[in-house]
Structure 1
Amino acid sequence: MTGGRGLRGYLSARADPALMLDPTIRNKFQSATLKTISLVSISVMSAEQSTQELFRTADCVCFDVDSTVIVEEGIDELAKFCGMGEEVKKLTAEAMGGNMTFQEALKKRLDIIRPSVGQIKRFIQEHPSHLTPNIKKPWVTSKPTLYCSRELVRILHERGVHVYLVSGGFRSLIEPVAAELNIPASNIFANRLKFYFNGEYAGFDDTEPTSRSGGKGLVVRRLRERHGYDKVVVIGDGATDAEACPPADGFIGFGGNVMREEVRRKAAWYVTDFQELINVLNLQKVASQTVE
């Protein structure tokens, strides 16, 4: 190069001053560069690595609730509370064997429980759901519990990711969980119980997509159509979660509360602690800071 400037001086002279000085333009350029690198990298990654990359760059994440975001299975706990635990447990086992559709199993279990408005309210007050904790690194009693599900959702929100709760459980039981996770009620897709004016059980809304097999995939499809999401990832412990991919771009199996072998086999990436997901997001954060 002439004038002894060298390559660095040449590039500096040729660079767009706006790109060098305006942080907004610089950040957009860096973000576009990272996305391009991600797309190129996915083609040579393993299935697990590809799913991790999808999770890092997703703009929408849909969580299952029972045995995923929370420790319990809502319908089983409600059945116990109403004195119908054993009957519902037997029916659940039959349903898991594939002898009936999800909607048939849901109807039969609710016909056994028949929860009233009063029972639902007392159940929520007396048996609040427990968020999934850090499983591999439990805290000693002198320290507060680290709820990894809460921390994971917080990090996703911080990154601008839209988070939804998509569950075959009941909206009335899930709303308190969503509030604890700072997820708006409008981002809940779950089944609605119906009651008569006197508060007695009257059935459930069978028009909700989550009330039937394949419903979670339908929710993902509707979210895409409504919001134009680029990359959607589903996280859950059950077969209905795995079935949602596609139309979801990626599925992450979760076995921190209940391990289901069928789900583990179907999942390209299977985790037993939400800290594993947090670690992957933190790695990208470090990489982004390095680029800057």
Structure 2
Amino acid sequence: MTSSIEQCKQIWCNADTVCFDVDSTLIKDEGLDELAEFCGVGKQVKEWTNKAMGGSMRFRTALEKRLEIIQPTIDQITQFRETQAIRFSDGLEELVELLHERGTKVYLVSGGFRSLIEPAAKLLDIPFNNIYANRLKFFYNGDYAGFDVREPTSDSGGKKLVAEKLKQTCENLVFIGDGATDLEAYPPADLFIGYGGNVVRETVKQKAPWYITDFQDLIQILQDSS
């Protein structure tokens, strides 16, 4: 594990693979909370989100509880995608573009759902194959039928499993996120950068080897190293 900010910065500059959490990191919002609001059950779902992101309960339990409340249909997912604007975190688009220019592989690793994440990945030119996220299941009539529990990110410790897989083919793996499930990826990730630009989770702030609230900090370091 890293022990100083200078060591963190060195790993960051040498990263060949960078993983971003999506909700409250890549984008300003929590996607499932926004979907719940769209479906008219926002308040009930947000309470479970805070429990999941704060690390006070098993992630899969919180995911199940939230989806039981929302019960999203295929039609609702489609309408949500068509009507909701994607709000990227400040500086995120510039940072991803800079990483691409440097030849750094960018992955999105999320406890959210592919159907909500793919539009953002498309705007950022991130291949869909570079998304690790959950999949919703539906009945033939389009009603909600659960989610695929085989996806590693559907449970606590899942992001660590993704990091282990990616680490097999890269030298310096950096994971950036705001929540407790993101922190679990370090190690095997060589560096974890806690992000508090949208929401500050005290557990993450205290345990992250490097904590930032502005992506411009990361951009500036890469530009200075060029």
TM over 0.5: yes
Residue in structure 1 matching 2:119, options 167, 176, 179: 176
- Look up the equivalent residue of 1:238 and give its one-letter code: G
Q: SS state of the match for residue 230, structure 1?
A: coil
Is 1:125 aligned to residue 82 of structure 2?
A: yes
Who is 1:210 aligned against? 153
Q: SS state of the match for residue 174, structure 2?
A: strand
* RMSD, aligned CA: 1.4
Instruction: Tell me how far 1:92 sits from its aligned partner.
Output: 2.9
Residue in structure 2 matching 1:186, options 103, 123, 129: 129
Instruction: Tell me how far 1:242 sits from its aligned partner.
Output: 1.1
Matches within 5 A, 1:69-108: 69-95=26-52, 100-108=57-65
Percent identity for Structure 1 against Structure 2: 57
5+ residue gaps in structure 2? Answer: none
Change (3 A) 1:114 1:264: same
- Look up the equivalent residue of 1:202 and give its one-letter code: A
- Look up the equivalent residue of 2:86 and give its one-letter code: S
Instruction: Tell me how far 1:113 sits from its aligned partner.
Output: 0.4
Who is 2:203 aligned against? 262
Cα distance in 1 for residues equivalent to 2:48 and 2:100: 38
Is 1:237 aligned to residue 178 of structure 2?
A: yes
Who is 1:15 aligned against? none
Cα distance in 1 for residues equivalent to 2:147 and 2:11: 35
Cα distance in 2 for residues equivalent to 1:98 and 1:244: 14
Who is 2:218 aligned against? 277
Q: SS state of the match for residue 257, structure 1?
A: coil
Cα distance in 2 for residues equivalent to 1:47 and 1:116: 47
| CA distances 1:1-47 after superposition (whole Å, capped 9, x unpaired) | xxxxxxxxxxxxxxxxxxxxxxxxxxxxxxxxxxxxxxxxxxxx961
Q: SS state of the match for residue 128, structure 1?
A: coil
| CA distances 1:60-100 after superposition (whole Å, capped 9, x unpaired) | 00000111110000011111111111211233344456553
Contact preservation (8 Å) 2:167, 2:189: no
Who is 1:141 aligned against? none
- Look up the equivalent residue of 2:153 and give its one-letter code: T
Who is 2:5 aligned against? 48
- Look up the equivalent residue of 1:243 and give its one-letter code: E
- Look up the equivalent residue of 1:220 and give its one-letter code: A
Who is 1:112 aligned against? 69
Is 1:198 aligned to residue 141 of structure 2?
A: yes
Larger radius of gyration: 1
Q: How many aligned residue pairs are there?
A: 225
Contact preservation (8 Å) 2:53, 2:179: no
Q: What TM-score do you get using the length of structure 2 for normalisation?
A: 0.95
| CA distances 1:216-267 after superposition (whole Å, capped 9, x unpaired) | 0100111223xx2011000011111111000100001111111111111111
5+ residue gaps in structure 1? Answer: 1-44, 134-147, 286-292
Who is 2:92 aligned against? 149
Q: SS state of the match for residue 145, structure 2?
A: strand
Change (3 A) 1:231 1:208: same
- Look up the equivalent residue of 1:190 and give its one-letter code: A
Q: What TM-score do you get using the length of structure 1 for normalisation?
A: 0.74
